[in-house]
Amino acid sequence: MSTLVRDDGLADKVALISGAASGIGQALAVAYARAGAHVVAGYYPDDPHDIAETVAAVETAGGRCVTRALDVRDTAACEAIADEAIAVFGRLDIVVASAGILRQSSIEAMRDEHWDDMLSVDLGGVMRLMRAGARVMTQPGAMVAVSSIAGGVYGWDNHAHYAAAKSGLMGLVRSLAVELAPRGIRVNTVVPGLIETPQSRDPVNSLGPDGLASAAGNIPLGRVGSAEEVARVIQFLTDDNAAYVTGQEFVVDGGLTVKWPS
């Protein structure tokens, strides 16, 4: 009988994470450090969150973290951070596309540049980062795109551009899973539900603290999720325990999307 592969299969592997200055990306960097993996942390220069906090948390967890400013709208920047993983660590095993933006706009008020920028970051940015990773990955590995139940499962009024981008990740991931399978590179999507992060706490573009607290009553588990809980699912999908899983969407939502409306 086969046995479950131990989690120490991540030891000495190298993980590239975009959006690593806060939220799910930051939590994942720490999770990888605890598992013995090295982290290449991409951060947006104008992000108000300090990437130094991620570095400190990774080092406290016993890991090594190198950082690089990253605008996922820029192909050259995506290729440069993948190249840095090779230059510093000699390999790249894991790519997690966690960077994203969230903006509220009705369809009537939405200008073309709003639509284009959202898709360039939340959909095109995932493609660029995964393309850059695939270019330098010379051994089997894993990639994960971070989607959302907004678009991934539900529609969301006043967020059509965001939902369209997050929905588009499903087709991108399924296709890359087929294309990269001969190289042993697995590609999956994680679809977070209501997760407490700096983005979801934004009262203008998202639910805000009050909205999150109110929504908790509609979730079967009775609470919103944490970034760490999503990070643990991503970690599983990129370690050897998920060696036969590719092209799939994993909803992490406390049961929200399977509850009959009441």
pTM higher than the cut 0.85: yes
Residue-wise pLDDT tens digits, 185-228: 999 999 999 988 776 666 666 676 777 777 888 899 999 899 99
Give the residue numbers annotated as catalytic, written as ranges: 162
Residue 178 dihedral angles phi and psi, to the nearest 5°: -70, -45
Asked whether the beta carbons of 26 and 17 are under 8 A apart, the reply is no
Kindly indicate the confidence band of residue 260, based on its pLDDT and cuts at 50, 70 and 90: confident
Could you give the domains of the chain?
Answer: 9-194+226-254 (3.40.50.720)
Residue-wise pLDDT tens digits, 135-182: 999 999 999 999 999 888 988 888 899 999 999 999 999 999 999 999
Kindly indicate the confidence band of residue 51, based on its pLDDT and cuts at 50, 70 and 90: very high
Please provide the DSSP assignment of 35-94 as one string: TT-EEEEEE-TT-SS-HHHHHHHHHHTT--EEEEE--TT-HHHHHHHHHHHHHHHS---E
Residue-wise pLDDT tens digits, 101-123: 888 899 999 999 999 999 999 99
Match 């994203």 to its residue by tokens: 100
Asked whether the beta carbons of 89 and 16 are under 8 A apart, the reply is no
Helix or strand or coil: residue 137? coil
Residue 76 in this model has a pLDDT that exceeds 50: yes
Residue 96 in this model has a pLDDT that exceeds 60: yes
